[in-house]
Amino acid sequence: MRDHRPFTDGSDTYLFRTVSGDITCQMLDDAAAPAYGWVGGCVNGRVDAPRGATVMFSTDSGSSVWELPDGGYPGFFFGSNGAPVLQPGEVLDRGAAACFAPDEDSLGCVNLRDQEGFLISGPDVRRFGAGDYPEIFGRDGVMDVIAPYVRLQFTNGGSVICYESRNDGLYTCGDALDLDFPLMDGVDMQSNAVFFDVSGATPVIHGHNASNVGQAGENAQTVTRGTYAHYGHLIDHDGSRATFTTPQGGTFWVGVDGFGVG
């Protein structure tokens, strides 16, 4: 899972499968949900052939993951023969939910709102929670952050939510709480966001201001002290400061004592 790449088939209904073709999943917009969400399911076996376990999930349900009996069919899979392949290392990000493929024969999804998920590997189905993340997403002492938004929790009780823009080469850390960020320029008000330009070899502070992540912050994955991989960036979090290393080898940081580069 180290090589995170976004995936889309260009539609609002997402149908996808493993490289082996043994697992097929579909996600549908849950229009009936009180907040924007998704429902979906994965079948172990081709939809048009005898199947094993079927796993269903919803981002707005009291029970976000549940299984149907072997051979069960959710009734809403369409066009499975032409389903795009979710390659190993790719992540399908749909806001409140994310699906991932650890290898050619496995596929899983996570409800980012409650951190509950499942992983289908061959005939086996495993349900997991946040406490299982190091085992599911960890390798060689580094844990993958599957969510595009990561909430860094610090030992002083402060926090900040960070994410990379996919369009303009900026990495934003906003919604800062109890961190020593400076006042905004020309205003007697503390900033709570910093913008790093990571488009070049050396990160540059693009500015700081007041910026709230908004509803997307509900889907942020919380991390504490440790080492993490986040969509191409390496994060070394020592409890009071998180240092990011970009794919080009540059560094920037954010923490209890503010933010900086190098």
Question: Tell me: the pLDDT tens digits for 81-110?
Answer: 567 888 988 888 877 888 899 999 999 988
- pLDDT of 25 reads 84
Q: What is the pTM of this model?
A: 0.82
- At residue 130, φ and ψ (nearest 5 deg) are -60, -30
With cut-offs at 50, 70 and 90, classify the pLDDT of residue 62.
low
d(CA 158, CA 190): 15
- Helix ranges (H only) for 123-221 are 133-137
Query: Does position 12 have pLDDT exceeding 60, yes or no?
Result: no
Give me the residue label for tokens 């149908």: 15
With cut-offs at 50, 70 and 90, classify the pLDDT of residue 202.
very high
Q: Which of residues 71 and 200 earns the better pLDDT score?
A: 200
- pLDDT of 2 reads 43
With cut-offs at 50, 70 and 90, classify the pLDDT of residue 125.
confident
Rg (CA), the chain: 20
Strands (E), 95-250: 97-100, 106-111, 116-121, 124-128, 138-139, 142-144, 150-153, 159-164, 170-177, 193-197, 204-209, 221-223, 226-230, 233-237, 241-245
Query: Does position 187 have pLDDT exceeding 60, yes or no?
Result: yes
- pLDDT of 206 reads 94
Query: Does position 117 have pLDDT exceeding 80, yes or no?
Result: yes
Residue 211 three-state SS: coil
With cut-offs at 50, 70 and 90, classify the pLDDT of residue 69.
low
Q: Is the dihedral of CA 214, 218, 221, 224 positive or negative?
A: positive
d(CA 43, CA 150): 30
Q: Give the contacts of 255 (CB within 8 A, at least 6 positions apart).
A: 152, 154, 179, 240, 241, 242
Return the domain boundaries, the chain.
5-144, 150-261
Q: Which of 16, 29, 196 is nearest to 109 (CA)?
A: 16
- At residue 117, φ and ψ (nearest 5 deg) are -155, -175
